Structure formats: structure tokens, C-alpha cells
Structure 1
């Protein structure tokens, strides 16, 4: 998962709360850091996304594939 895919996944799932989820929510699975801090120190965005999903009980059907790049037009 690229950073842009992570950003899209968070925005798609949390809408207006996305910024707060990334900057305010402390995630134990990534060392007691916020998502922004974890990504800044090199935690892969996919791992951060998974930690957010676990922490906020995002249903499994909305975890996989969310935030993927849109297919290119041919």
C-alpha cells in the first residue's frame, strides 16, 4: 500500500474525521504512536491501516482493497 492509497483508504472510511484519526488516535500496534507519527518513522502504511482498522473495529469487508489506486483508463 502506497501512502496515497493509505490516505484514500482513511478518507473513504472516516470522511470528515479522517484527519483526526491520522493525527490524534494513538495506536498500540505501531508502538503507541499516531498514524502520522508511525508513517513518519517508517512503519509501512499497510501496517498503519491495519492498526487503525483493528483499533476502530472497521468491518473486515471494508479493510481489504480500500484505498487502492483507481484503474487507469485505456
Structure 2
């Protein structure tokens, strides 16, 4: 998954204004207790990060 697709999905899930804030502030256990931004900066693939987001947020099946 490309980062552009990842951010498109984040924006559809959380809204354009809130997705960036959520990615910066919400700590996700399946990502080693890192935020989305930290995990991406540490080299975790966008696909793996998206899977973790889907696991902790109530992401509809059509966006998974």
C-alpha cells in the first residue's frame, strides 16, 4: 500500500481534519505502543500500520 492510499483511507475513516491529529496522538498497542506517525517514521509499512488502525478503530469492512 502506498502512503497516499493509506492517508486516503485515514481521511475517509476519521475525516480530513481529524485523521492527522489521530495519527499524531493515538498510541496503538499493535504498533509497539507507537502512534501512526512514529510507526511510519520507524519504517513500518503503510499496510501494516493500516491493519493496526483497523484493529483498534471501528473501521468498516469496505475500507479495510
> Under a length normalisation based on structure 1, what TM-score does the superposition of the two structures give?
0.77
Structure 2 contact 9–63 (Cα < 8 Å) conserved: no
Structure with the higher helix share, 1 or 2? 2
Q: Return the structure number with greater relative CO, CA threshold 8 A, min gap 6.
A: 1
Which has the higher Rg, Structure 1 or Structure 2? 1
Which consecutive unaligned segments of at least 5 residues does structure 1 have?
64-74
More strand by share: 1
Q: Which consecutive residues of structure 2, in runs of 5 or more, have no partner in the other structure? A: none
Q: Name the count of aligned residue pairs.
A: 63
Structure 2 distance, partners of 1:3, 1:62, is 15
C-alpha displacement of 1:30: 0.9
